Amino acid sequence: MKTPKSHQRQISAEEPNAIAAKRRRSSWILFKQNKIALTGFIIFLVFFAVAVLGLFLTSGDDPVLDPSLVRLQEKLKPPLSSPNPDALAPREIPSMKIYLFGTDDLGRDVLARMLQGAWVSLTVGFVAVGIAVIVGIILGGLAGYFGSYRVSAAHLAIFCLIAGGAGISYWHPFWGLAMGSCAAVLILITVSAGRKRGQEGKPFWVNLIGIKTFSIDTLIMRLVDIMLCFPSFFLILTVVALLPASIYNIMAVIGLTSWMGTTRFVRAEFLSLREQDFVIAARALGLGFARIIFRHMMPNALAPVLVSTTIGIASAILTEAGLSFLGFGVPPPYATWGNILSDGKRFIFDAPWLTFIPGLAILIVVLSFNLFGEGIKDALNPRLKERG
Amino acid sequence: MGDSNTLLNVAGLTVWFQADGERSWAVNGASFSVGRGETVCIVGESGCGKTVSALSIMGLVKTPPGRIAAGKIMFEGKNLLSLNDAEMQQIRGRRIAMVFQEPLASLNPVFTIGDQISEAITVHEKLAPEALRARVLELLRAVGIPSPDERLGSYPHQLSGGQRQRVMIAMALACEPDLIIADEPTTALDVTIQAQILNLLKSIKEDRGLSLLYITHDLGVVASIADRVYVMYAGCVVEQGEVGDVFLEPRHPYTKGLLASLPDRARRGMPLTGIPGYVPGRFGRPVGCPFEPRCSEAEKECHIEFPQFLDWGKGHMARCPVLYSREKRR
């Protein structure tokens, strides 16, 4: 803006701020320079393609590669061995005429099982991180935007009663219902207190429930601290042991125990965004807070979230594999990389491919996600850009 | 000034901010009013409470740490301070719009200007997409953006500073408000663009018959745009009146000092005169005239009392202990 403007339109193209116009493009250039990150990105794309392909090849009534077809006469065949057509019924012969990754102790095609598992890993990664990011963005956004706004005692009590009631009603519906009705009564009291607040000589109890307790920021960020204190893998183990084993429960549990990082990122971004003029300008236009938070501030806060998302997907895949390995994961016969690994560990000396193939697959995918995430972080970091 | 011609009347506005257990009084009983179709300037040094006054009108003072402790802000007979948040949202943007100082910072960097102006409209009105687009184009044309069709898809950083401020003005005009508050809209711009923006604001004001409350520290701007002017110092209005009166016959020593510090062709080559000292630290509330420590004409009583306004007719008033006691003696 400091440049002389004899001819506005022409100069606006050469303005120093036009550098920002190339921000997206230069991020990509910077990302491309980072060969390791680029490799990670390519592996990520390949993995994505394989997982989608795997879903099509291994599902349906008559799949091309059947992951659950048992051929006991062909068990523990090493990779790249061909099936013996004499010993098999015609429909048991694999479509590729070769066991690319060998067979397991029940003679199931490991390639087919890996493909099926890839889809599981992908969905677990994305859905779990999706849950984590949504929870993290909402809580982080509230904590960052409302910050020092203090919650009144009545509102806090209502929230605790509803949350506690919902939790308890899982085991004791009666007490849950009782807490819920307590909350309803409290809401009525608060509403009537709100009417009395403007009047002179308000009664004692109106003041009492209007007492300001903790700020929203304190409540949410201390919850984050508490959640971070749990050794989350064991928390997941406990919850998974209580809940019926299904892939959806696992996704939800992983998601609900990994939102804390995103919350912190989003809150930190919001604390600085909140003071920006465009947020005040948006309020001056008469926008409501939800619109300001989610439409105006959120897109400006997403860069660090994106980074934590890619790394989060990797750790979710790893967590799922760990759970499956320990036998708490996705129930058989559904194959995941974790349970292929866990089934194979009994035959590690006779059939090492049963452990090495899923192990390597997990290693490569998780590593590629991490490298990809690091690469994005560097590419979106404006300080590195100036140096380059 | 309670007649029907008054659009906005701020009376005894007092705003303080709490910092480290101490209260700093940003606005200290300021009163001013804006008539329909009138341009009013508030002028003063940095830290005089001009912006806080404007934010108070919009209901945008952060509470905490800020607090509007006293006063009334009457807008068309309604006290804005007694409205709740939802009612205030109906006023903001629709009835009173604001243009901010830094046009780049005030536009959201991730949306195109077309999106942002559309949003300013759709917050308060539901329009069909084609009608909305036509309206946005019309607004862009009204604020003099060249080839508005192409500019719709531009991001704020692709525009020049003057164009950004034009976009901000277009957003302020979006719902045809009755009052536009412009908080130093030209401070971040260079002088030629500043003149363009001032002319734009002037012509818009005249075409649409709206009122303008213009906040600035630039006396040149005041002279070229305002009908009436309020001189603020340390949260108080110290002098007010029609621009001609105040500029030709400044009464308060602070106004005199401000005018004397302007560069003047007649005194070419001579050092500029300034007002010694700084705006007082805002902690604590001064008892007497807030300008007393820096005032060249200060007398003993200035430290003790801060009298009411003295009227010289046509609404030209100043609030100065020396003038007051002189008047009393007469």
Best A278, A280, A294, A306 member to test B by mutation, with max B CBs in 10 Å, is A278
**Whether the predicted pLDDT of B258 surpasses 80:** yes
User: What's the gap in Å between the CA of B63 and the closest CA on chain A?
Assistant: 9
- Of the candidate ranges A14-18, A287-291, B103-107, B256-260, the one whose mean pLDDT is the lowest: A14-18
CA distances from B186 to A305, A323, A366, B102 (A): 36, 62, 53, 9
Per-residue confidence in pLDDT tens, chain A, 388 aa: 444 444 444 444 434 444 444 555 667 777 778 888 888 889 989 988 998 988 888 877 777 777 777 777 777 777 787 777 777 777 777 777 777 787 888 878 888 888 888 888 888 888 999 999 999 989 998 898 887 777 777 778 888 888 888 878 777 888 888 888 888 888 888 777 766 655 555 666 666 767 777 888 888 999 999 988 888 788 888 887 888 777 888 888 888 888 998 899 899 988 888 888 888 888 888 888 888 888 888 888 887 788 788 888 888 888 888 888 887 777 777 788 888 888 888 888 888 888 889 889 988 988 888 888 888 877 776 555 444 4
Q: Which residue has the higher pLDDT, B267 or A322?
A: A322
Q: In terms of C-beta density within 10 A (0-12 exposed, 13-18 middle, 19 or more buried), how is residue A12 classed?
A: buried
Residue B183 pLDDT exceeds 80: yes
| Phi, psi for A383 (deg, rounded to 5) | -65, -40
Closest partner residue to A286 (CB to CB) among B124, B146, B168 is B124
Q: Which two tokens stand for residue B202?
A: 């002037």
Residue entry with tokens 């125990």: A257
Subunit contact B110:A5, Cβ cutoff 8 A: no
One-letter amino acid identity for B295? C
Facing B58 at nearest CB: one of A278, A284, A295: A284
Please state the rounded mean pLDDT for residues B184-203: 85
| A278 closest CB neighbour out of B55, B60, B105 | B105
Whether residue A300 lies within 8 A of chain B, CB to CB, comes out as: yes
**Residues B144, B166: contact at Cβ < 8 Å?**
yes
Residues in chain A closer than 8 A to B190 (CB atoms): 1-2, 4-5
Q: Is B41 on the interface with A (CB under 8 A)?
A: no
Q: Residue A100: count other Cβ atoms within 10 Å of its Cβ.
A: 16
A82 interface with B at CB cutoff 8 Å = no
Degrees to nearest 5, angle at CA B140 with B121 and A300: 60
B60 touches chain A (CB under 8 A): yes
Name the residue facing A20 among B90, B101, B157 (closest C-beta): B157
Q: How far is CA B160 from CA A20, B106, B151, B173, B209, in A?
A: 13, 14, 12, 20, 28
Of A9, A277, A286, Cβ closest to residue B92: A286
The mean pLDDT of B229-234, rounded to a whole number, is: 88
**Whether A281 and B98 lie within 8 Å, measured CB to CB:** yes
What is the structure's pLDDT at A172?
80
Across the beta sheet with B6-19, the strand order is B22-35, B6-19, B66-75, B78-79
Q: Which of B90, B91, B160 shows the shortest C-beta gap to A15?
A: B160
Residues in B closer than 8 angstroms to A18, CB to CB, are 157-158
* Closest CA relative to residue B56, chosen from B5, B1, B96, B4: B96
Is A276–B105 a contact, with Cβ atoms under 8 angstroms apart? yes
> What is the model's pLDDT at position B102?
83
Do A8 and B160 lie within an 8 Å CB cutoff?
A: yes
Q: Do A21 and B155 touch (CB under 8 A)?
A: yes
ipTM over 0.90: no
pLDDT of residue A132: 92
CB contact under 8 A, A285 and B160: no
What would the pLDDT profile of A36-57 be if each residue is shown by its tens digit?
888 888 998 998 899 898 888 8
Mean pLDDT in residue range B163-182: 88
CB contact at 8 A, A216 and A151? yes
Name chain A contacts of B180, Cβ cutoff 8 Å: none
Q: Tell whether the model's pLDDT for residue B1 goes beyond 50.
A: no
- Chain A, 133 to 152: residues with Cβ < 8 Å from chain B are 148
Instruction: Provide the token pair at A243.
Output: 């809940």
Torsion, CA A171, CA A173, CA A178, CA A181, rounded to 10: 120
The pLDDT score that the predictor gives to residue A222 is 92
**Shortest Cα distance, chain B CAs vs residue A18, angstroms:** 6
Q: Which residue from A4, A20, A285 is facing B120, i.e. has the nearest CB?
A: A285
| Contact at CB, B94 and A286, closer than 8 angstroms | yes
CB contact under 8 A, B93 and A286: yes
Rg of the Cα trace of chain A?
Answer: 28
- Residue A2 is predicted with a pLDDT of 43
A14 in contact with B, Cβ within 8 Å: no
Using the Cβ of B58 and the Cβ atoms of chain A, whether some distance falls under 8 Å is answered with yes
Give pLDDT tens digits for A199-257: 555 666 666 767 777 888 888 999 999 988 888 788 888 887 888 777 888 888 888 88
Tell me the CA distances in angstroms from B322 to B43, B89, B327, B330, one per residue in order: 22, 44, 9, 13
Task: Give residue B303's pLDDT band: very low, low, confident or very high (50, 70, 90).
Answer: confident
Q: Which pLDDT value is given to residue A8?
A: 41
SS3 B149: helix
Tokens read off for B116: 């942002």
String of DSSP letters for B151-178: HTT--GGGS-HHHHHHHHHHHHHTT--S
CB atoms within 10 A of CB A167: 11
B124 CB neighbours in chain A (<8 A) are: 286
Q: Is B193 on the interface with A (CB under 8 A)?
A: yes
Question: Are the beta carbons of B108 and A278 separated by less than 8 Å?
Answer: yes
pLDDT in tens, B50-86: 888 888 888 888 776 788 888 888 888 888 888 888 8
Check CB contact of B87 with chain A, cutoff 8 Å. Answer: no
Using a CB-CB cut-off of 8 Å, the residues of chain A touching B150 are none
Chain B hits for A17, Cβ within 8 Å: 104, 157
Please choose, from the candidates A260, A252, A220, the residue with its C-alpha nearest in 3D space to the C-alpha of residue A236.
A252
